[in-house]
Structure formats: C-alpha cells, structure tokens
Amino acid sequence: MVVEADGGSRGNPGPAGYGAVVLDAGARQVLGEVYDGLGITTNNVAEYRGLIAGLSAARDLGATEVEARMDSKLVVEQMSGRWKIKHPPLQELADTARELAAGFDAVTFVWIPRKDNARADALANRAMDGESSPTLDPSAAAGPAPKPPAGTTASTDSAAAAAWTGQTGSPVRLILLRHGQTELSIERRYSGHGDPELTELGQQQAAAAALAIAKRLSRQGVEPAAVLSSPLRRARQTAAAVAESTGAELEVREGLIETDFGGWEGLTFTEARERDPELHGRWLGSADVEPPGGESFRAVGERVEAERARIVEEFAGRTVILVSHVTPIKMLLRTALGAGDEVLYRMHLDLACLNIADFYPDGGASVRLVNETSYLDDLR
C-alpha cells in the first residue's frame, strides 16, 4: 500500500494538525484517511504525527508492504537513516514510527514534491480548521465524499462534537470575526460607539480574513446563510469584504454593536484610570459597573444573548458569519463555554481574528476555534 502523509502548523509553533491517506499499491484507490488537530506544536512534530497516523492506518488495513510518501525532506531523510535527529521530541516520534515500520515486511520512505501530496495536505488543513477524524475512515474507499447540498453546514466535525458531548440536532455555526485595525486601536484607546474607519492596514486585514473564511467554507462545501455585522463603520467595512468573498448577503444587526464606553470613549487605559480612579477600578472587577454615561458588560451580555437567540432561531442548522467587536465576541464565546464573567478579563482577541462556536437546538454549544490570525502573518 501507499501512505501519503503530511502535517503542518500555522506559526512555528502554532495551531497544528496532521493528515494521512492510505491508497492501494497503484495509488489510484483511496482505502482510508485519518486527520486530527494537535493543539499548539511545531511543523516537524505535526509531520511526524502524520507519518505515524498513516502507518497505523495502513497496519489496520492489513498492509504488508508500505511506501510512505511525504513532502517533508527532514522526516524522509531522518527515517531513512541519512540524517541525524538532534531534537529529543522528534527522536521519540521517530522511534514510534520505526516501531510501526518494523511490523511490516518492508517500508520505504519517499520524498515527493508538495504539489504531489495534495491529498494529505488538504486533510492536515482540515484538521487545523478544527475538523477531526483520528480513527480510520473506510468510507473514503468509495472515493471522495460528495459535497453537501448548497446552503447546509454539512460539518462532520460538528457531528463528531455532538457525538462526544451528547448534543442533538444540527447546530448553527457562528463564525465570529473581529473588525480590522483603526486609528484608535493603534493607540490602544477605548473604542465603543465611536465610528472610526479602518486604516489601510485594517482594510488589508479585512481582505485577508475574508479570503481565509471563503477558502475554509469552500473546502467544507458550506454556503454561508448570511454575513451579519455591527452597525459601526469599522465592522461594516470588514463585513463588506467577507460578503464579497463568500457571496453571502450582508445584513446589519444593532445587537452586535460594541460596548458604549461613555465618557471613556477615545481615552487610553491610563487616561481613563487617572480620570476616574475609583470607578475604573470597580469597573475592572465587576460586569455590573458602568463607565460614566456608558454601558455595563452585563447589559452588553444581555443584548448580545438576545441577538444570539434570534440568530439561532432564524438560521437553524446553517453557518452564519458575524462581524463584530471584542466584547460581543467574548460574550458569545463565554456563552458557548458556559463560563463566568472572569473569562471576559482573561480572553485576548486580536484585530481581525477568527473564532468559531456551534450552538445546538437542545441548548448545547461547542467552541471550535479562538483567536485564529495565521492568515495575517504576511501583513505583520
């Protein structure tokens, strides 16, 4: 049999995943495939994990001889014994791979160009996107799975999550995108109901995020039901880029607007603290405290939850893209996690970051992704 294996990380180290495909000896018929996320680790570790998964799958399919193909020169050369392994974590993984290899009559390791390893690469990317199939999937033997009908979520990872957590029904998947950079975010000033535009970099961030979302949905065969945006200009500009890339209709939702910071609008953290030291201190410690003339986090949470409930009812079983701000996105993730107020102060969300949460009709929820920004690497 032939094993095609790959692994990757978005950042090094960064969010990582692996994928492996087992084919017949002529490499024409797919016999099975495996892929899974690895959390935060390095690219080389992910590549080794892909090889291990592929060899394990070939063993389970009854292979006696294996040709393992990878586009990682390092793994192929190390497993062939031509290059030394200097890093202990890789040595442990290589030992595991060699133990698996010893169970076959013969194993050869072959380097192939990346373009020839597209099947395994695609699975590794699906794993990094949050999908998972760590055990052998014999259904792949029938060929590529058909794409779901347009407009459905058709998400096998959602089904897997539900199976593990007991949730029932098809979830509404919320893809949560924070807007791009503004002049106020450069200077780290409170930016609530004020309405600054995106900077030039912010527009580039919006375009990069929009393309990443469109590619993700295309790979999954998912047609988004809508792009819902905060009414503020920075969010609407970001949402417009997403709507153009995905072809989904853009709709403004007032419930997705950022916190009203009242008298602190436009101030830095230090300026606000110096202006209202006692109030600022209480505000940092309680979601019930309002900025001067502004809105408490409790009030924000209530309106965001009302909006979420409307979205879940309106778009049952669909995928919806929400373009909003730090606080509303944190509120949605908090709800999905079932966490308390403290998570609002401990969660960091970068500009133009991507987050994903599934909300099930039975009230269950699953957080799939938080603060993904790898698509912005070329802009930094």
Catalytic residue IDs: 179, 258
DSSP line for 107-173: EEEEE--GGGGHHHHHHHHHHHTT--B-S--GGGGGSSPPPPPTT----HHHHHHHHHHT--SPPEE
Question: What's the rounded Cα separation, in Å, for the pair 17 and 49?
Answer: 8
Question: What's the rounded Cα separation, in Å, for the pair 145 and 166?
Answer: 25
Question: What's the rounded Cα separation, in Å, for the pair 176 and 370?
Answer: 9
Residues 127, 35 contacting (CB under 8 angstroms): yes
Nearest to 197 by CA among 181, 212, 210, 213: 181
Structure tokens at 128: 């990094």
Query: Vertex 361, ends 222 and 306: CA angle to 5°?
Result: 95
Residue 233, C-beta contacts closer than 8 angstroms, at least 6 positions apart: 195, 196, 197, 198
Element (H, E) at 106: strand 106-111
Residue 271, C-beta contacts closer than 8 angstroms, at least 6 positions apart: none
